[in-house]
Chains A and B, each alone.
Chain A
Amino acid sequence: MFKKILIANRGEIAVRIIRACREMGIQTVAVYSQADADALHTQLADEAICIGPANSADSYLNMERILSATTATKAEAIHPGFGFLSENSKFVEMCEKCKIAFIGPSAEIIHRMGNKSEARATMMDAGVPVVPGTKEPVYDPKEGKKIADEMGYPVIVKASSGGGGKGMRIVEKSEDFETNFLIAQRESINAFADDTMYIEKYIVSPRHVEFQILADKHGNVVHLGERDCSIQRNHQKVIEESPCSVISKELRQKMGEVAIRAAKAVGYESAGTIEFLLDKNGDFYFMEMNTRIQVEHPVTEMVTGLDLIQEQIRIAEGENLSVKQENIRVTGHAIECRINAENPSKNFRPCPGVIENIHLPGGKGVRIDTAIYNGYKIPSNYDSMILKLIVHDKDRFRAINKMQCALGELVIEGVDTNIDFQFDILGNNRFISGDINTHFIQDEYNL
C-alpha cells in the first residue's frame, strides 16, 4: 500500500488523481511549472514542488527533476496521468531503477505498444483482427505505390511513430499516392525523426470504438465495455459516449473477448485501452493500444460505477482486481463533452487567458472534471482542454437531453470556448439518431 504518491501531471487529470488518492487515504505530491504556481492541482495537493520553467520540456517532461521531487518528498509511486511522460518507456525504466512504483504498465509493454508496426504484428499473432496492410515497413514511395495498387484504394499511409494525425495521409487514387506518401514521411521525419511508414486499407466511414480494460499483476484481465469516440475533429476526440449505440450484446462480448486476448497477449498490467475501427458490417479491426488512463475514462466510470484511477493504484500496489468480469454491469448511458479554450470560428485556435466568470451545471448524473476557477489564468504553454462535462442517465436520449441542459447552464467567460459548438452537435439530428462515424464533424460542419 502506498502512503504517498507524486502526480507527474497538471490540469484536470492531476486534480482527478489527487482526489482519488485522498479518498484512498494516500497523501499527494503535486509537481508544477513556474506557470502553474496558482494552478488547482498545485494548491490542492498536500505538498507541491516546482520542477522548472513553463516550457513542458523543462518541467513536466523533465524526468530527472520529477524523479528528484519524488525521492525528496519520499513518495513511493508516480502517477503519470495522460500525455507528458505517461507513455515514455525510458521514464518508466528510470522509475524502476530508482525503486519508484510507476502507476501503469512496464517499460517493455509501453515500448512494444508504442511502436505501431510491432503492436500490429503482436496483435496479428494473437489472432486479433487488424486492418489489411503491410506487415513490413515501407520506406520508398514507388514500392509503397505497388503495394497500395494491389490493396485497392482508398488506402491510408501512416508513420510508424506517428500520432495525433501527424505523418498520416489518406490516398484516394493511385496517381496521388507518391505525393501523399512523401508528405506523410516528411512530417514523420520532422516530428519523430523516423521515416518508417506503413500502408493500410482505408476503412470507409468507420466508428472509433475502444474497449477499456483492467489487468492486475496476477494475470486477471477484465473489460469494462466500450466507448464510442467517433465524434472527432482532426483526429482529436470531441465527444465520447458509452455504450456505443450500434453494438449488440453479442458483438460487445465478442469484441470484449478480443480486447482481453489482446491485453493478455502482451502480458498487460494496469488500465489500458484497445482501439478498434468498427465498420458498417459490424467488422472490427485493431488500431492501437493506449497504455495509459485516457481523457474519456469518466464515461466508463459512470456506466460501471468503478473508479479507474483507484483501480490503477490498487493494481500498482499489487492487489487483485476488485471486480470479476461477471460482476461488471454497464448501466445506462454516459456522454462526455471536452470543453476547450479555443475559438471554433478561427479554426479552433487555442485561446489562453483569464477566466473572468464561471458557472457550472450540477444535479444528479452530472459530473465535471476541471481545474479552472474564477480568476484562473490559463497558460498558453499547455493543452487547451480546460473542462470535461460528463452526464449519465438511463438511456442515450435521456443522456443527450441532460447534456444539452448541462451545456446550456455551463458559462465560462473571459476566454473563447467550444461550448456553443458542442451544444450544436448535441442538437444535430444525425447525432441524435446515432448515425455517426469518424467523419461526422467533417461532413456536418465542413471542418
Chain B
Amino acid sequence: MSLKEMFKKTTYISIERNAVVSEMETVSTVLKKTMPTMKEEETPAVPEGMFVKCGNCAQTIYTEDLEKNNHVCPKCGYNLRLGARQRIEMIVDAGSFQEWNGDLATMNPLKFPKYEEKLKAQREKTGLQEAVVTGLAKIHNQSLALAVCDSRFLMGSMGEAVGEKIARMVEKATEDKLPVVIFACSGGARMQEGIVSLMQMAKTAAALKKHSEAGGLYVSVLTDPTTGGVTASFAMLGDIILAEPGALIGFAGPRVIEQTIGQKLPEGFQRSEFLLEKGLIDGIVKRGELKEVLSEIIHMHTNHPDKINTYKHYIEKNKAIRDIPLKSRQAMGAWEKVMTSRAANRLTSLDYIQAIFKDFIELHGDRAFRDDGSIVGGIATLGGMPVTVIGQQKGKNTKENILRNFGMPYPEGYRKALRLMKQAEKFHRPIICFVDTPGAFCGIEAEERGQGEAIARNLFEMSDLKVPILSIDIGEGGSGGALAMAVANEVWMLENATYSILSPEGFASILWKDSKRASQASEVMKITSQDLLDLHIIEKIIPEPQPASEDNLKDIAGYMKSYMKEFLAKYKDKSVLEITAERYDRFRDF
C-alpha cells in the first residue's frame, strides 16, 4: 500500500494560545486573532559564512569548528588555504608583527593590458597590496623575519613586487642577523609580468645565498599549493624545509604533466607525503603544531654560550657511577659478542637518541632521491646545547626492519647524513653519530646510485668538517658502511659492539671458503671493543653491565650522556684548526 496523496490536508484554524474558545465565538472571530506577521529581520536564515565547503572532500563544515581546528577539515584532514594575515595571526606572538614595505607595488613592467584593473580588484577583494606580506615578528619572544604568501591574490604569484619584498626582507634579516621564515603558497611566476617575473627567481635565490653565507638560518614552510617558479627558487632553498600535510608541491603542475606525458598521475603524486618519501623535504608538520616546531628550530639556532659550563657539575656527579671497572663483569667471547651485537632486542639509535637528548627534531631526506629509513638524523639538545645527531637505524621486528632496511643504508642514506653534517657545520653544531650497521646495502639500486661514491664522499667531507665529531658504535660496525659515519675526532664502542673490515661470515668465506667457520673467524679478526681499544682504533668503551636492552637503557644512556658532555666540554675551546687537524692526524697515524 502506498500512502502517497492519500491523506486529506487540514484547513488550519490558528488558535490564540491562552484564549479559551468559547462556544459563543464564531470561527471568524477566532481567525481574526491570528498572529501578527513576523518582522522582516526575524525571518530565520542561515547567516552568510556560517558553513563552508571543504575544498577537498566537499563536505559542509561549521565555520566555528573549522576555526577551532586551525582551518583543517575535521572530516578529511585537509588543510584549507589561509590568507596571509590569518596565517600570521596563527603563527606569531599576538601584536608582534611589524610589516615591512607594505606599500610596495608592481610598476606593471610589461605595460600589460588590463593588469592594473585586475590588481585593483584583487586589492579590494583581499585587502592586500600584493601577494606576499613581509615583516618582523616574534615567536615565543624570538625575533624573526617573516614572509607569508597569499594564494587569494592572483594565486600568490611572484612578480616584481613579491620578489622585491622577499629580497628586501632577506637582506634586512642578514643585516640584523635574524632567522628567516617564509610560508610559500603560490602558483609560480606572475604571467602578466613575463620575463621580469622570471628574474625574481634568481633575485630571491641570490639574496638567500648571501643570507646563508653569512650563517643565517632560513626555514621554508611549504603550503598548498607551492608550484612553478616559487618552488624553483626560494621555496626549496631552506636550511630546513617543512610542509603542511597534503600540500601540492611541485615544479610543473599535475595537469600540465598529465597532458604532456599522456598518462594519469598516481594518487598522492606531488603531495607533501610524496615529497617526504622522495627525500625532498625535512618533515611534515600539522598546522596546530607549526608554531611550536618553528619556535624550537629557531631556539636551537640561537647561540647558547653558557651551557657547557654547567656540564662540569654533572660530570663530577656521574663519574663515580660511570667508572665501574670492567673486570668486575664476566667477559664474553668474540663470537658471543657478535651474536649479542646482532640481538633483535638490542637497543637502536633512536632508543639512545630519545633517552639522551631533549627536543629531538628529526629531519628527513637527501633532497635528491629518497628518504632512507636506515639512517635517522636531526637536531637535538644536550644539556641545552644544540647538536646534530645521526644514527644508523635497525628495527626490532620484521615490519620495522623492512622500513629500516635492516640497518643497511642506501647511497641516499649516506647523502642524507652528509647533508645534515654540512648543516651542522654551517651552524657550528657538534655532530654525534651512532653506528649500527651490518654494512652498506648490497643491491642493484645501491650500485646504480653510486654506493661507493656516497661512502667515499662522506670520508672525504667528514675529514675536514669544521665541527667536532663523535661516533659511537652501539652494535654492529660493518665495514665501509660503518666507517662512512665514523671519520670522527673520537670513536667509542659499547662493550658488546663489534667493528670490523667485514662480517666474520664474509671473512671466513673469503679466507677459508667456508662461511660456517664464522665463529672461528671472529676470534682472530680482533673485532671486540677490548681488542680495538688495545689497537687504538677507538678511544673509549661504554660499559654494558648487562647486554643492552630496554631494561638497562637508562643506565647505558646515562653513561653515554656523561661521557658525551665530557667530550663536548673538551672540544668547546678548541679552534677549528685544532679540531680538523686532530681528526686528520687520528687517521693519518694508521
Contacts and interface: CB of A to CB of B under 8 A. Distances in A.
18 contacts: A1-B35, A25-B12, A25-B14, A62-B60, A68-B46, A70-B44, A71-B45, A71-B46, A74-B43, A97-B47, A98-B45, A98-B47, A98-B50, A99-B42, A99-B44, A99-B45, A314-B17, A317-B17
Sort chain A's interface into a size bin: 35 or more
Interface in A49-80: 62-65, 67-68, 70-71, 74-76
A64 B60 contact: yes
B44 A319 contact: no
Nearest to A375: B1
B1 A98 contact: no
B62 A27 contact: no
B7 A43 contact: yes
A94 B14 CA distance: 28
B6 A43 contact: yes
B216 to A, nearest CB: 44
Interface of A is mostly: loop
A3 B14 CA distance: 8
A94 B42 contact: no
A376 B2 CA distance: 8
Given A63-B62, A319-B17, A374-B1, A46 B9 contact: yes
A76 to B, nearest CB: 6
A94 B17 CA distance: 27
- Considering the complex of A and B, which 7 residue pairs feature the smallest CB-CB distances, nearest first? A375-B1, A1-B35, A43-B3, A100-B44, A64-B60, A25-B14, A25-B12
A90 interface: yes
A22 interface: yes
Interface in B1-46: 1-4, 6-7, 9-10, 12-18, 35, 38, 42-46
Interface of B is mostly: loop
A268 to B, nearest CB: 21
Given A25-B13, A43-B4, 10 more contacts: A1-B17, A62-B60, A63-B62, A64-B60, A68-B46, A70-B44, A71-B44, A76-B38, A98-B46, A373-B1
B571 interface: no
Interface string B38-74: 1000111111001100000000101000000000000
Interface in B433-492: none
A308 interface: no
A140 interface: no
Contacts of B44: 70-71, 74-76, 98-100
A22 B1 contact: no
A44 interface: yes
Contacts of B7: 43-44
A70 B44 CA distance: 8
B75 to A, nearest CB: 10
Nearest to A68: B46
Nearest to A64: B60
A152 to B, nearest CB: 39
A368 interface: no
Contact of B18 (A46, A76, A320): A320
Contacts of B9: 46
A247 interface: no
Interface string A312-325: 00100101101000
A374 to B, nearest CB: 5
A416 B10 CA distance: 35
B6 A64 contact: no
A351 interface: no
Nearest to A90: B62
Contacts of B51: 64
Interface in B207-227: none
Contacts of A44: 7
A40 interface: yes
A26 interface: yes
A435 interface: no
